[in-house]
Chain A
C-alpha cells in the first residue's frame, strides 16, 4: 500500500495556506530589528527611485548626443574616422575568433553586443556610422562562424598573434605615416579613444616590463638587483600625478629645445612606468608563492633558468594571479583619467571642457553619468572576462556545495 503524502511534511499548515504572507512574515517582519531594517530599506529604495531613477529619464540628454563624437574620439578629423572604425573592426574580428575557442554556438555576450549595436543603430547617427556599426557586428559573427570551422591549434596561434598585433597596428593606423596615410597628430586624439589607447598600452606593456623588473629584483646579480629595486621603489614611491607633471613640465626644460617628445608620448611613458612598478611587486609576490621544490625539480631535469621560468614557474604564477592582474588592469584603466590634469583631452578631460561651455552648463550631471557608465562597462567586461578565464583554467578555488 503506497503512502501518499497530502502535504510537504517540512511545511507548517499556515505556510501551505498562505505561502506569500508566510514568506513576508518569516523574512521581513520576524523580529523588531528585522521590521525596522525592512522599513529602512523600503525608505531608501523609495528615495532612490523617486529622486534618482525617475529624474534620469526626464533629463535632457542632448549634451551627450551633440558631443558624442568629441567624447568618443576628441578632435580626430571627421574625414579620417574610418581609421578608428578599422581598428574596431579588427578587434571585432579577433573577438569573434576568441569567442569561437572551444565553442560551436555564440555565447550570450555576443548576442548582447548585437542587440546593443542594433539599438544604437536606431538612434540618430550618420549613415556612415550606422553602416560601420553594423559592419562591426557582422564581422564579429562572421569571424565566430569561420572560427568554428578552423582547427583548434591554428586558431590559437591566430588569436594570440591577432591580440598581440592589435595595439601596434592601431597606433600605426590611427597615427598614420607620411606618404601612406596622412599623419594625425597625437594632440588631436581625445576622448574614449585616447583613454583606451593609453590604458590598454599600459596594461599590455606593464606585464612584460613588470616581469623583467620582478625577475631582476630576485636576481643574484647585485647590480641588476639594485637597479631594479631603485626603479621600483622610486616610481612606486611617487604619486602618478607627480610623474605626469615631471614629464609634462620638467622634462622639456631638461632637454634641449625640440628634443622633447610629444605630450602624448611623455604621458604614456609615465603611465606605463608607474603601472610596471606596481605590476613588478605584484608579480614578485606571485613568484614567491611558488615553492623552491618546483625550481629544484626543473633544475634536476636540466631545464635551465629561462625554460624553468617559461614552462614551469610563469604558467603557475599567472594562473594564480588572475584576480590580482585584473585588479591592476581595472585600476590602470581608471587611473588613466589623471592625464586630464596635464591638459590631455581624454574621456575626463574632454567632458570637463564640454561642461565648461556655457551652452552645456546644465549638462554636467549627464556627462558625468555617461562617463561613469562607459567606465563601468569597460571594467565590468574585464572582470567578467577574467571570471570566464578563471573558470576555464579551473582556478576559482570555489568550495563546492
Chain B
C-alpha cells in the first residue's frame, strides 16, 4: 500500500455510457478516477462490462456518452488525441496476441523502431533488457509458438513496456494459462507495481488483488458497484451484491 500523499489524477471517467444498441448497454454510467502509481484490480461476473471498461481507455472500444480524460487529454474522436493517449498506454491481452510471424525480439522491437523511431541497435538493446526483466531473455530468437503460455504472456508484457507506457492495462492476463504458469506472470506484474507503474488489471486472481491492489473495483451489470481498498473490500464489503459475489467465489 502506498502513501496517499499528493495524488495525481491519471484517468478520469465522468458518467461514461457505452451501448451497442439502446437496449444493449454494456457500461451504464461509470464515474471513477484512477491516480498515478495506483494499482486497480477489477473483478466481477462475466458480462459485467469490466473488460469493456479498460478497453475504452485506449479506444479499442468507443463510448457513446460521458467523458474520459487520460492525463489531461480528452478521449474524443480526434485521432491526434487518441494517438497521444495510446502512446501512454500499454495493453496485455488474455490470449497474449503476439505476432506469430515475428520472432520474440522482433515482436518487441517493431513498434519502438517504427513509432518511437529508435535505431535498430537501441531498440534491440532495450528489448533484451526488458526480456531479462521478465525472465525470458533466453527465448529472444524463438517464435511465439515455441514458447509456453506463461513465457508468451511475459513477452507480451515486455512488448508493451518497450513503448515506455505510463499506464498498463491487463485484460485477464492469466485466464488462459495453466495454473503453474500463473505465478510467473503475476510476479512480473507485482514487480511493475513495486516500481510505481499505474496498473489496471481485470482478473479473477483474488490473491493478487489482496496483495498488490490499492483499489478493488467490483463491476456488475455495467456499473461499478463497489470501489474500496482490498482490506475493506474483502473483510467488510458494503453492498449485498459484493457480499454475494465474494461468498460465491470464496466458498467453493
Contacts and interface: CB of A to CB of B under 8 A. Distances in A.
A301 B163 contact: yes
Interface in B177-204: none
A303 B93 contact: no
- Rank and list the top 7 A-B pairs by shortest CB-CB distance, nearest first: A297-B97, A300-B91, A301-B111, A302-B86, A293-B97, A315-B101, A316-B101
Most interface-central of A294, A296, A319 (chain B CB within 10 A): A296
Contacts of B99: 294, 297-298, 312, 316
B3 interface: no
B17 interface: no
8 contacts: A293-B97, A296-B60, A296-B93, A300-B86, A300-B89, A301-B111, A303-B111, A315-B101
A26 interface: no
B101 A293 contact: no
Interface of A: 293-294, 296-304, 307, 311-312, 315-316, 319
Contacts of A293: 93, 95, 97
Given A301-B159, A303-B111, A319 B60 contact: no
A320 to B, nearest CB: 10
Nearest to A297: B97
B48 to A, nearest CB: 20
B215 interface: no
Contacts of B90: 300
B69 interface: no
Contacts of B115: 301-304, 307
Contacts of A296: 60, 93, 97
B97 A311 contact: no
A294 B97 contact: yes
A299 B111 CA distance: 10
Most interface-central of B100, B101, B114, B160 (chain A CB within 10 A): B101
B83 interface: yes
B225 interface: no
A229 to B, nearest CB: 25
Contacts of B159: 301
A139 B39 CA distance: 66
A302 B95 CA distance: 19
Nearest to B114: A307
Contacts of A297: 91, 93, 97-99
Given A293-B93, A315-B101, A319-B101, A299 B114 contact: no
B174 interface: no
A319 B143 CA distance: 15
A381 to B, nearest CB: 27
